[in-house]
């Protein structure tokens, strides 16, 4: 029986050309115009195979996925496949016009079996599919691992994709963070009043900055620390409890609906009456700003600015001015160096000096200082105090540094 490939791309031209190439080389193919249709086809196929039914689209062996698509993009589709009990071991091959570093990060995020750069020719496509076929058995036994052999770009014109309602998502600017700092990139985008999405990755995490006419509308991240989760900002203000968040997320997960229809945590909190829409906007502004502050500290990484949009950013429309965000970020970068040098190892344990506290008077301390001082018990490390404080690393470390400088706390001897 011939290997069956599901080709997922919003371009009819790409689907037609890829299908013809596969047919000439003995492969069967199915087509899907977007991730939503593809997921439906895959689920029909998987259920039919599980039940031993002859109806449905038939067994699908490999999914060939485009990165940029409407409704459900390639990243969302791959995550849905990996989260499905029926589909999680499905081999995925990525098609992308994105640069190598972004494509590699996408592969790491989704566990694709292989990748091909667009534009490509027939020989390159078949080579990737055949390579994926050879590795399929090995892949199925370790579906959660990461395996990728990135192929070199082939300089062959791509099929046209532009339509009046779906413009080409083109790379307008890209580079190395160690050569062109993100602060300079953001200032350039502001100066030129650019609209689009700035992607940055250091290989471990990816930050996405949505821009509108040179303003920052929303910043999101994958693989960032837990301090950048939206719920933290509400916990810090005492608007919700960890149990509230767990309950809302648990209720959302229990609903029988596609994951892309799941409401975001912020919307759930607003609908439940726990926070107002204004408080949500404030939390998103703080989250976005702090992600940029952290990004300005990256010593290395890659960035790419693309002319595209994201639904979440279109909804948030924070309109943060780049100049003030970057200026505050640079100030924090300088202060971070001082604080980190004074704190030393994040694995060190702090002790409270009861005599100094009694003399100085705890009532003279600010609320944040009192909160962290109460957490210094001779057992928690600096790292643990920061994590349990529900504050940003910067704010928590700055307070601990001030407490050390005031000699209200000291490091426990080894």
- Taking alpha carbons only, the member of 10, 53, 54, 60 closest to residue 30 is 60
Is the distance from CB of 149 to CB of 131 less than 8 angstroms? yes
- pLDDT category, 262, cuts 50, 70, 90? low
Q: What is the pLDDT of residues 85-101, one digit of tens each?
A: 888 888 888 887 654 54
Characterize the bridge pairing of strands 171-176 and 114-117. unpaired
**Cα–Cα–Cα angle for 47, 38, 253, rounded to 5 degrees:** 70
Q: Which phi-psi region, left, alpha or beta, contains residue 213 (left: φ > 0; alpha: ψ -120 to 50)?
A: left
Residue owning tokens 């933290």: 232
Q: What local confidence, expressed as pLDDT, does residue 261 receive?
A: 58
Residue partners of 9: CB distance under 8 A and separation at least 6: 15, 18, 33, 64, 66, 69, 95
pLDDT of residue 236: 85
Mean local confidence (pLDDT), 182-194: 91
Sort strands 215-222 and 350-352 into parallel, antiparallel or unpaired. Answer: unpaired
Lowest mean pLDDT of 134-138, 160-164, 305-309, 342-346, name the range: 160-164
Rounded to an integer, what distance in angstroms lies between the CA atom of residue 112 and that of residue 103? 10
pLDDT of residue 275: 92
Report how far Cα 212 is from the mean position of its chain's Cα atoms. 20
Reported pTM: 0.56
Is 196:306 a contact under the CB 8 Å cutoff?
Answer: yes
Q: Could you give the angle at which helices 277-295 and 322-343 cross, rounded to 10 degrees?
A: 60
Provide the 10 A C-beta neighbour count for residue 46: 19
Q: pLDDT class for 249, splitting at 50, 70, 90?
A: confident
Tokens 């705890």 map to which residue?
362
Residues 313 and 309: their CA atoms lie apart, in Å, by 7
Tokens coding 178: 């160690």
């Amino acid at each position: 029986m011939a290997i069956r490939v599901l080709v997922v791309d919003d371009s009819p031209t790409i689907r037609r050309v890829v299908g013809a190439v596969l047919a000439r080389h003995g492969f069967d193919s199915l087509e899907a115009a977007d991730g939503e249709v593809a997921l439906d086809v895959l689920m029909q196929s998987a259920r039919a195979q599980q039940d031993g039914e002859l109806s449905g689209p038939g067994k699908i062996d490999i999914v060939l996925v485009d990165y940029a698509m409407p409704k459900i993009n390639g990243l969302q589709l791959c995550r849905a496949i990996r989260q499905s009990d029926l589909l999680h071991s499905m081999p995925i091959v990525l098609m992308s016009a994105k640069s190598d570093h972004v494509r590699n990060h996408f592969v790491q995020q989704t566990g694709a079996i292989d990748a091909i750069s667009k534009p490509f020719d027939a020989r390159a496509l078949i080579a990737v599919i055949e390579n994926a076929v050879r590795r399929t058995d090995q892949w199925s036994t370790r579906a959660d691992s990461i395996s990728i052999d990135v192929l070199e770009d082939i300089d062959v014109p791509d099929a046209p994709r532009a339509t009046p309602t779906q413009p080409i998502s083109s790379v307008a600017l890209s580079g190395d963070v160690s050569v062109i700092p993100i602060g300079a990139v953001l200032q350039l985008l502001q100066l030129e009043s650019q609209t689009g999405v700035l992607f940055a990755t250091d290989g471990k995490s990816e930050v996405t900055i949505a821009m509108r006419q040179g303003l920052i509308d929303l910043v999101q991240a994958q693989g960032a620390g837990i301090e950048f989760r939206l719920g933290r900002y509400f916990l810090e203000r005492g608007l919700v409890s960890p149990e509230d968040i767990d309950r809302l997320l648990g209720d959302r997960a229990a609903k029988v609906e596609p994951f892309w229809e799941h409401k975001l945590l912020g919307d759930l909190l607003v609908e439940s009456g726990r926070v107002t829409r204004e408080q949500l906007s404030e939390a998103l502004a703080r989250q976005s700003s702090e992600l940029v502050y952290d990004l300005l500290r990256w010593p290395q990484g890659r960035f790419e600015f693309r002319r595209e949009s994201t639904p979440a950013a279109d909804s948030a429309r924070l309109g943060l001015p780049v100049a003030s965000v970057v200026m505050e970020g640079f100030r924090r970068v300088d202060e971070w160096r001082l604080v980190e040098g004074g704190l030393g190892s994040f694995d060190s344990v702090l002790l409270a000096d009861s005599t100094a506290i009694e003399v100085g008077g705890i009532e003279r301390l600010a609320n944040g200082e009192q909160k962290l001082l109460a957490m210094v018990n001779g057992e928690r490390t600096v790292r643990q105090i920061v994590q349990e404080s529900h504050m940003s690393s910067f704010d928590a470390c700055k307070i601990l540094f001030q407490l050390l400088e005031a000699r209200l706390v000291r490091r426990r001897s080894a």
